Amino acid sequence: MEVDREDGRSQNQLRPLACSRNILHRAHGSASWSQGDTKVLAAVYGPKAGTKKNENPEKACIEVIWKPKTGQIGKLEKEYEMILKRTLQSICILTVNPNTTTSVMIQVVNDDGALLPSAINAACMALVDAGIPMRHLAVSISCCVARSGVSGLVILDPTKLEEQKMKAFAYLVFPNSVHSVLPEGSPSVQGEPIENGIITSVTHGTMSVDDYFYCLERGRAASTKLSDFLRRNLQQQPTNSSKAG
């Protein structure tokens, strides 16, 4: 069963991805991520001394500032900041630099659907560029459920128009896929490989349980492709480690 998408993509096709690191001079780490027309810029400063008032001083703290393209900062931006902060807290190794704050700034340059996944991917690349210690990368994808009643009709990477038209959509964040050189293979949790775990899932609209699981399957498959893209991108551009002050 095929769905006609405006830009001619098939169900499982992602938009063209582009990512560049180290684009800002003052920030310690920076990255720009674009999926089709959606473009997000992320910058990282840190670690800086001290943590905020309500934070645990025995661990590093991550602070996220989200700047929309135009308009005042409202509840939606605060929600994105919170989701991004929790996602990044789970991938960074917080015990390495206790009592410090790492600031992540997100600037939306253009929004054409899949804004939060692009921001998470950009933030991850910026953290790598800044040299912040992390356990693994976070790979984020957005899937939407096309029609009700016809289960299994899930399309990947919807544009803004598609997000508004469709029944429901989900933003999913997975750990990146691992290429292991150890004989025992990649690390696993309770028998399942670590890349099957979900770090974050945000859904909008109602969908049946089966639809959600189908989204997860498709998202996981897409995250492998995204991980490959990230790996190639990181290997090509070596990180400039001499960013002082």
Reduced to 3 states (helix: H, G, I; strand: E, B; else coil), residue 214 is helix
What distance in Å separates the CA atoms of residue 234 and residue 85, rounded to the nearest whole number? 23
CA atoms within 13 A on the CB side of 188: 8
Task: Enumerate residues 6+ apart whose C-beta is below 8 A from 18.
Answer: 32, 33, 34
Residue 69 beta carbon to another protein: minimum distance, rounded to whole angstroms: 6
Q: Does residue 36 belong to the site contacting another protein (CB under 8 A)? A: yes
Q: Which helix (H) or strand (E) holds 221?
A: helix 209-236
Q: Which is nearer to another protein, 48 or 204 (CB)?
A: 48
Q: Which residues inside 153-182 make contact with another protein, applying CB under 8 A?
A: 156-157
CB of residue 162 to another protein, shortest distance in Å? 14
Binding-site member from 54, 70, 236, 242 for another protein (CB under 8 A): 70
CA dist 116 and 111 (Å) reads 10
Stretch that binds another protein, among 13-21, 180-188, 201-209, 232-240 (CB under 8 A): 13-21
Q: Would you say 122 or 138 has its CB closer to another protein?
A: 122
Q: Residue from 91, 211, 218, 227 that binds another protein (CB under 8 A)?
A: 218
Q: Which two tokens stand for residue 76?
A: 């939606």
Nearest to 89 by CA among 40, 114, 42, 123: 123
Residues of this chain that bind another protein (CB under 8 A): 7-10, 12-17, 24-28, 30, 36-37, 39, 41, 43, 45-49, 65, 67, 69-71, 100, 103, 105, 107, 109-110, 156-157, 217-218, 220-222, 224-225, 229, 244-245
